[in-house]
Amino acid sequence: MLQILLFLSSCLHFNISLKAISFDDFLDFFEKDNKNNYNKGVISVKVSLNNQALYVLEGNKVILASHVCTGKRDSTPTGYFKVLDKQMHKRSSSYGFWVKEGKYIPSDVSGCPGPGWRYVGYPMPYAVEFSPGYYIHQGYVWPVPRSHGCIRLEWKEAERFYKLVDRGTPISIKKTQPEDKKVGKRLKQPKSYKKPDPSPFLLVSERAFNPY
């Protein structure tokens, strides 16, 4: 109620007309805007590999739908899983950069060039682990499978997904999902993959965990 009063007060201050908005619309607005209003106990996740899509459901209602980028050569595991862990500032333990005195060499963790080099894993913001070593996290969403097995989401979707799920949230990963037929058809392919890759300097810094 306090939120509504503050909103009404701000509308009056800026002389905004409220005639076209019913009180029920106000309540609906605040309910939808409150990300903590969902019943976490009935939330589930579905991933469609063929449609490269992720759906978050509250019961039978889709509350988040997004294109994703899954693993190339069928490297994303399929089946039924549960959220094992969440890390907002996760770095890869397998792929990243070897760093020394302002030099950066992309490599896996086993490719140390020599003494004095340190390994910095590739950033995986808003990482949600669903199987040991496999995560749903922020990353460029290509129109084809391209990751090493993880599932990538755009920044905004990754942040919202991270907030919607908890440890134990069920996740189904299959070739197709029932939601593909209706919800999946309306999804628009992100264009972020067309952007130049961020610089290694940015990726090894803490700035990598902010939208770039």
> What's the CA gap between 135 and 149, in Å, rounded?
8
Q: What is the DSSP string of 27-59?
A: HHHHHHH-GGGS-GGGEEEEEETTTTEEEEEET
Contact 64, 137 (CB under 8 A): no
Please give the C-alpha separations between residue 132 and each of 36, 81, 104, 128, 153, in angstroms, as whole numbers: 28, 10, 28, 11, 19
**Which listed residue (67, 69, 89, 150) is catalytic?**
150
| Residue written as token pair 């770095």 | 91
For the question of residue 89 being annotated catalytic, the response is: no
Burial class (CB in 10 A: 0-12, 13-18, 19+), 193: middle
> What's the CA gap between 17 and 8, in Å, rounded?
10
For the question of residue 148 being annotated catalytic, the response is: no
> What's the CA gap between 204 and 83, in Å, rounded?
27
List, by residue number, the catalytic residues: 137, 150
